[in-house]
Amino acid sequence: MSANYEKISGERGKLESFLGRIPGYKGYKEKEMRREADSLLRQALVRDFTVQLNRLTPIQTAAFSNGAVELMGSMGAVKTALQTLIDRIRNAAQGYAGFFDAVRVKEDDLDRLEAFDQQLVAEIAKVSAAIDDLDKAVQANTEVKAAVAAAQRTVQDTVNLWDKRSSVISGV
């Protein structure tokens, strides 16, 4: 289980501990805590990817100042793809059915979803490294086109990974 889940579980009060002994409630409450952990993880992903997005504007401005006008569209595409990813993460379904929902999600499905979301955490470092390389290329005013292309591929790989999230639960 994730650190977020363990933290949420540890903060349960005496009443919730008592209610946890009621048949059926314990499983429901554990899923609720997993849902909170999933939400916290996605909020962290949004925050960290937004930091990377915000780094792109000054890099784009510097590239423009260096005369790389022909690359503005490509750099804008990187920003758009990253912003779209952020919006999709922010607005994603919680990844599990609630207590009264007709569709039930099993514990192993939740475990797979959590493991998948942890993979996305690793993507932040990849996106950051690609933006670092782009920044260095713009500052040196060399190989900027290649750095933009590499950043586009990295962000697109992350988007492609995110696209697979729904299949984790559906098994498709």
The candidate with the shortest Cα–Cα distance to 85, out of 146, 158, 136, is 158
pLDDT attached to residue 91: 87
What integer is the mean pLDDT of 55-63? 94
Q: pLDDT tens-digit profile of 105-124?
A: 566 666 777 788 888 889 99
Over residues 85-106, the pLDDT tens digits come to 999 999 876 654 444 444 455 6
Average pLDDT, the chain: 79
pLDDT range class, residue 77, cuts 50, 70, 90: very high
Q: What whole-number distance in Å separates Cα of residue 74 and Cα of residue 55?
A: 16
Six-digit token string for 160:
């492609």
pLDDT at 10: 56
Alpha-carbon span 72 to 148, nearest angstrom: 10
Other CB atoms within a 10 A radius of the CB of residue 134 amount to 27
Residue 97: the pLDDT is 47
Among 132, 124, 125, CA closest to 49: 124
CATH of domain 42-170: 1.20.120
Q: Is 65 left (phi over 0), alpha (psi -120 to 50) or beta?
A: alpha
pLDDT at 98: 47
